[in-house]
Chain A
Amino acid sequence: MAQFASDNFNGTEGDELSVHNSDWVNGPTSLGKHEISSNRCRHNSTTSSIYRHATSPASADYSVKCDIYAKTLGVTENAPGVVGRASSSAVTFYWARYDGGSSKAWQLYKAVSGTYTNLGESAQTLSTDTAYEIKLDMSGTAIKLFKESEGTAVVSVTDSAITAKGQAGIRTYSAVAPTDTTGIHIDNWSADEVSAAYTLVCDSGAYTVTGTDAGLIKDSTLTADSGSYTYSGTALDLIKGVALTADSGSYVYTGTIVDLVGSGSLVMGSGTYTYSGTDAALDYNVIMAADSGTYTYTGTAADLTHGNSFQLDSGSYVVTGTAIAFNVASVVSLDSGIYNYTGNSVSLVFSGGTWTVQPDSTTSWAAQSDSNATWTIQ
């Protein structure tokens, strides 16, 4: 974790935050003020405030944390916290906060263009004059609130509303102005990049990973403008919960017990995805969208597209194996192009389009029931 910004608020009593440290930028819109108080930071306004730290993160994946320190707790107390992916021009950010007012709860908010949504909360009454850490963690669409340095998040949710890296900062809601002896104050603020070990960004070139029991990029993001990713090994849990975006280039996976893209999203502009192995649960609950290019799967006992959505504008899908359950309960949209399946014990459920079904041995077609489809059985 590489820290890219921090402030312990040690400074001159009463200094407005941007006077204390010119890296702090007040606003937009929420122009209430913070000031230094006993080497902490406190809100001093009756209107909400946001301060963004001028140092930009390298990417949208980072965490922001601080200590909150309750001098008093009551029904009209303030709700301070940390923000991330905060826009410099719009009221847009993720906000992990503690509501010291009526809720007495840890809360995960988002604001998009000035409209607020509470994504989750968990109540806890804090002790006064005690520091509690609160952390907002953003990794792709995984948004989490942690408290008290615990290893498990209090609130974990998927949200795709804010993807720009924006800036890290602090934000406080308050209808009353805290004083040096009232309200909830802030201390020990910092912002940290997500560990480089979990983020691979490739402008060009190749990544090659070889090994066993690899949990390489779980909950991470792989972005390739060009180049190749190659993984070889066994027990790969490569991109679970991950979004893979390829403008061009190739992804090649080889191994056994492959759980390649569980709960992920594969978006391919062009290029090739190749999977080889056995007992593959390749695309379970995954959305694959291909503008062009080819997906090739080879293996046995493949449960390739169960519960998934396949969308193909053009290009080809090639699947070879046995005991394949292809599109059970799935959505297949085909504008043009070819799906080529070879195997037996195949259960096909398609809608629309023109399909060529080519069994290689005794075959049971469990479902070929769509009046809109044109079937060619060979």
Chain B
Amino acid sequence: MAKRYYISPIIGDGTETNPYRAKVSDHGKPWVGVIPTDETGKPIKDWALVLVDTANHKPIVDDNAIDALPDVSLDVKLSAIGSSERGKMASALAGRGISDNTNSSDSYRVLVNGIGKQLDALFTVDNFDIR
């Protein structure tokens, strides 16, 4: 099993039998998502930061509705990620209106924390896990 971060659309209608959830749930793998909601329970964004734990990420990576973030350790410097991968990530984030205030000397952890904090100011990657 290996874990990887994704940006996933949110699906569902908020009913008990069709709750709001990250679209990665369609793939049937263990997942957790940051899905902040307003006072009515409706998600405040149409996307979620998601962590998926599976030995085979290919079906999710191949899902065009879901953006896979780089498959690297949180401690890796962004400068160590290949330019193609970084460009793909930047494009995916920009396409969803997600700010990226990192620089190349930052670690991947800073990037993931920054994305999470755009959903919940108290988000920390240290308390974001699935198994």
Is A316 interfacial (CB 8 A cutoff)?
no
Task: Enumerate chain A residues within 8 angstroms of B14, measured Cβ to Cβ.
Answer: 115-117
Q: Report yes or no: B33 in contact with A119, Cβ–Cβ below 8 A.
A: yes
Given known A120-B32, A158-B122, A241-B124, contact A112–B37 (CB-CB < 8 A): yes
Judged by a CB distance under 8 angstroms, whether B87 is at the interface is no
A158 touches B127 (CB 8 A): yes
Q: Is the CB of B20 within 8 A of A115?
A: yes
| Given contact pairs A121-B25, A157-B127, A113 touches B40 in the complex (Cβ within 8 A) | yes
Taking the closest CB of chain B, its distance from the CB of A159, in whole angstroms, is 7
Which of B19, B28, B116 has most A Cβ within 10 Å? B19
Which positions 25-73 of chain B face chain A at CB distance < 8 Å? 25, 28, 30-37, 39-43, 53
CB-CB under 8 A from B75, the residues of chain A are none
With A157-B127, A159-B120 in contact, is A119–B32 under 8 Å at CB? Answer: yes
Interface string of A93-127 (1 = CB under 8 A from B): 00000000000000011111111111111110000
| Pair A285/B110 contact, Cβ less than 8 Å | yes
> Chain A 142-172 against B: per-residue CB contact (8 Å), 1 yes, 0 no?
1010000000111111111100000000000
A156 close to B129 (CB less than 8 A): yes
Q: Is the CB of B124 within 8 A of A158?
A: yes
Q: Chain B residue with minimal CB distance to A114? A: B41
The 8 A CB mask of B92-131 against A (1 = contact, 0 = none) is 0000000001110010001001101100111111111111
Chain B residues whose C-beta falls within 8 Å of the C-beta of A121 in the assembled complex: 25, 30-31
Q: Which of A300-345 contact B (CB under 8 A)?
A: 306-307, 328-331
Question: A265, B131: Cβ atoms under 8 Å?
Answer: no
CA distance A161 to B39 in the complex (A): 8
Q: How far is the CA of A121 from the CA of B21 in the complex (A)?
A: 10
Q: Mark A272-303, 1 if CB is under 8 A from B, else 0.
A: 00000000000001010000000000000000
Residues of B within 8 A of A69 (CB): none
Chain A residues in 8 Å Cβ range of B43:
117
Smallest distance from the beta carbon of A171 to chain B beta carbons, Å? 10
Could you say which residues of chain A place their CB within 8 Å of the CB of B123?
158
* Chain A residue nearest to B119 in the complex (CB): A158
The verdict on A263 contacting chain B, using a C-beta distance below 8 Å, is: yes
Structural contact, B25 and A156, CB atoms closer than 8 A: no
Q: In the complex, which residue of chain A has the Cβ closest to the Cβ of B52? A: A120
Check if A307 sits within 8 Å of B33, measured CB to CB.
no
Given the interface pairs A152-B131, A154-B130, the reply to whether A117 lies near B20 with Cβ below 8 Å is: yes
Pick from A141, A160, A331: contact of B101, CB under 8 Å = A331
Taking CB as reference atom, which chain A residue is nearest B14? A115
CB distance B127 to A156 under 8 Å? Answer: yes
B-contacting residues, A23-53, CB 8 Å: 48
A121 to B102, CA, bound (A): 30
Closest to B38 in A: A112
A219 within 8 A of B: yes
- Shortest CB-to-CB span from B114 to chain A, Å, is 6
Max chain A C-beta neighbours (<10 A), residue from B19, B21, B122: B122
The answer to whether residues A307 and B28 also contact, given A140-B122, A159-B36, A161-B36 and a CB cut-off of 8 A, is no
Asked whether, in the complex, the Cβ of A117 is within 8 Å of the Cβ of B41, the reply is: yes
Which residues of chain A come closer than 8 Å to B84, judged between CB atoms?
none
A110-B127 Cα distance, complex, nearest whole Å: 17
Name A157's contact: one of B12, B15, B25, B33 (CB within 8 Å).
B33
The 8 Å CB contact of B126, one of A116, A118, A241, A330, is A241
Which residues on the B side are within 8 Å of A113 (C-beta)? 39-41
Chain B neighbourhood of A158, CB < 8 A? 34, 116, 120, 122-124, 127-128
Q: Does A62 contact B (CB under 8 A)?
A: no
Q: What is the minimal beta-carbon distance from A140 to any residue of chain B, in angstroms?
A: 7
Can you name 15 A-B pairs with beta carbons within 8 Å? A112-B40, A117-B41, A118-B25, A141-B120, A152-B129, A153-B129, A155-B32, A155-B129, A158-B34, A158-B120, A158-B128, A160-B36, A240-B126, A329-B102, A331-B101
Residues of A at the B interface (CB closer than 8 Å) are 48, 108-123, 140-142, 144, 152-161, 173, 219, 240-241, 243, 262-265, 285, 287, 306-307, 328-331
Question: What residues of chain B have their CB less than 8 Å away from a CB belonging to chain A?
Answer: 12, 14-16, 19-21, 25, 28, 30-37, 39-43, 53, 101-103, 106, 110, 113-114, 116-117, 120-131
**Supplied contacts A154-B131, A158-B116, 14 more A-B pairs, CB within 8 Å:** A113-B40, A115-B40, A117-B37, A118-B20, A120-B32, A140-B122, A144-B127, A156-B128, A157-B32, A159-B120, A161-B41, A173-B16, A240-B126, A307-B106
